[in-house]
Amino acid sequence: MRLICPFAAGGPTDVAARLVADALTPALPQRVIVENRTGAGVLVGTEAVAKARDGHSFLYTTIAHAVLRSLFGSLPFDPVGDFQPVALVGVIPMLLQINNDLPARSLPELIALFRAHPGQYNYGSSGAGGAVHLATELFLQQAGGLRVNHVPYRGAAPAMPDLLNGALAMFLNVASDGVASVQRGNTRGLAISAAHRLPQLPDVPTFAEGGLPGYEAYTWHMVLAPTGTPPEAITRLNAGIARAAQETALRQRFEEMTIELRAGGPPEAAAAWLQAEMVKWDAVVRRAGITAQ
């Protein structure tokens, strides 16, 4: 069985996919192999799975899949019609980090600062249309239409020096990438985008606790099958992922990566999650005028 990952080897999504594959193999009659198929963002790997008709090729993807229709005018596949959700694996919250010298010690103070100085501050993202960009635009929209300039980077790591030197006021980072910086005191953590606080940062409140009720934003991991995959293969893989999620070693590694396991629901639950995410982020993309780059 192939889990095709449309992200580079060694990155956080690839690492998670390989952990899942290792936990899956004992639960299935065949070995699970992760294959990295990168290019054109996630399009090359996603298209490869959309056109697979072998019954044992699956896609290990993220929130990127939910915004393909919104970001691209045309695609060589249909993100909805060409895929069947198998299982939602887990979700990863976002961590709002700010420069230590910024005169804000809480989320309400940050909102007030941006409101008092529209267009005078910058925020970074790991790329236009990515999870960080989407989550930040949702925050700015829900906080009353704040005007903060977007500066895209090729990933989170290149943005960190500019956050530290003050060229960026804030970075709404994927939590797994931002926890260590806050723990070391290099940046200040103001809010976590989940419904509950992170065990790694118990003093950082949620957005709701910080005065922005209803705000939640995650990137996430999901397994999809190409349409036409035999139902028994989808059922078997869904059950295998649910069993793998109970393994102590996988749960511990995912907790270290700030991934909250959500496996265990039927394929229909994964389909409902994906549909809701597509609707949610399409509205954000349209309001912010985000386009693929």
> Does residue 203 lie within any of the structural domains?
no
Q: What range defines the domain where residue 166 resides? A: 92-192
Q: pLDDT band for position 62 (50/70/90)?
A: very high
Q: What is the mean pLDDT of residues 113-133?
A: 95
Q: Of 104-108, 134-138, 155-159, 194-198, which range is least confident?
A: 155-159
**Does 159 lie in the same domain as 124?**
yes
Taking Cα atoms as reference points, which of 257, 270, 247 lies closest to residue 65?
270
pLDDT higher than threshold 80 for residue 143: yes
pLDDT band at 291 (very low <50, low <70, confident <90, very high): confident
- H or E segment to which residue 32 belongs: none
Residue 153 is assigned to a structural domain of this protein? yes
pLDDT at 54: 87
| pLDDT surpassing 80 at residue 52 | yes
The rounded distance, in Å, linking the Cα atoms of 277 and 272 is 9
What is the token pair recorded at 26? 């004992």
Tens of pLDDT, residue by residue over 252-267, are: 999 999 999 999 899 9
- Name the domain boundary from 192, 209, 244: 192
Beta strands in 99-200, from DSSP E residues, in sequence order = 122-125, 149-152, 170-174, 188-192
For residues 79 and 223, membership in a common domain is answered with yes
Percent composition of the chain: helix, strand, coil (DSSP 3-state, to 5): 40, 20, 40
pLDDT confidence of residue 293 = 64
In a domain, 211, yes or no: no
Same domain, 97 and 161: yes
Question: Residue 90 pairs with which residues in a beta bridge?
Answer: 221, 261
Q: What is the mean pLDDT of residues 104-125?
A: 97
Across the chain, mean pLDDT equals 94
Domain shared by 59 and 108, yes or no = no
Dist. CA 118–CA 116, nearest whole Å: 6
Q: Are 96 and 187 within one domain?
A: yes
The CATH number for 44's domain is 3.40.190.150
* Termini Cα distance of the chain: 33
Mean pLDDT of 271-279: 97
| Same domain membership, residue 161 and residue 117 | yes
Asked whether the predicted pLDDT for residue 37 surpasses 90, the reply is yes
Residue type, 115: R
State the total domains in the chain: 2
With a CB cutoff of 8 Å and minimum separation 6, the contacts of 161 are: none
Question: What are the two backbone dihedrals, phi and then psi, of residue 220, each rounded to the nearest 5 degrees?
Answer: -155, 165
Spell out where 45-202 has E strands: 57-61, 83-98, 122-125, 149-152, 170-174, 188-192
Residue 205 domain flag: no
Regarding whether 158 and 232 lie in a shared domain, the answer is no
What is the pLDDT confidence band of residue 55, given thresholds at 50, 70 and 90? confident
Contacts of 14 (CB under 8 A, 6+ apart): 5, 7, 8, 34, 36
Q: What's the pLDDT at 57?
A: 95
Q: How confident is the model at residue 154, as a pLDDT?
A: 86
pLDDT digits over 168-179, tens only?
999 999 998 899
Say if 199 falls within a structural domain. no
Is residue 223 within 8 Å of 3, Cβ to Cβ?
Answer: yes
Q: How confident is the model at residue 51 (pLDDT cuts 50, 70, 90)?
A: very high
| Letter string b/e over residues 114-133, b meaning 16 or more CB atoms within 10 A of that residue's CB | beeeeeebbbbbbbebbbbb
> How sure is the predictor about 278, in pLDDT bands with cuts at 50, 70 and 90?
very high
Is the pLDDT reported for residue 292 higher than 80?
no
Task: Assess whether 51 and 98 both reside in one domain.
Answer: no
CATH number of the structural domain spanning residue 111: 3.40.190.10
CB-CB neighbours of 165 under 10 Å: 10
Q: Kindly state whether residues 17 and 53 are assigned to the same domain.
A: yes
pLDDT > 80? residue 5:
yes
Could you tell me if residue 179 is inside a domain?
yes
Rounded CA-CA distance 157/159 in Å is 5
Q: Is the pLDDT of residue 273 over 90?
A: yes
DSSP H or E stretch at residue 114: helix 107-116
- Specify the higher pLDDT residue, 46 or 176: 46
Residue 235 lies in a domain: yes
Let me know whether 100 and 85 are in one domain: no
Residue 127: the pLDDT is 87
Confidence of residue 93 (pLDDT cuts 50, 70, 90): very high
Q: Residue 73 pLDDT more than 90?
A: no
pLDDT at 40 over 90: no
All residues at 6 or more sequence positions from 74 whose CB lies less than 8 Å from its CB, including other chains: none
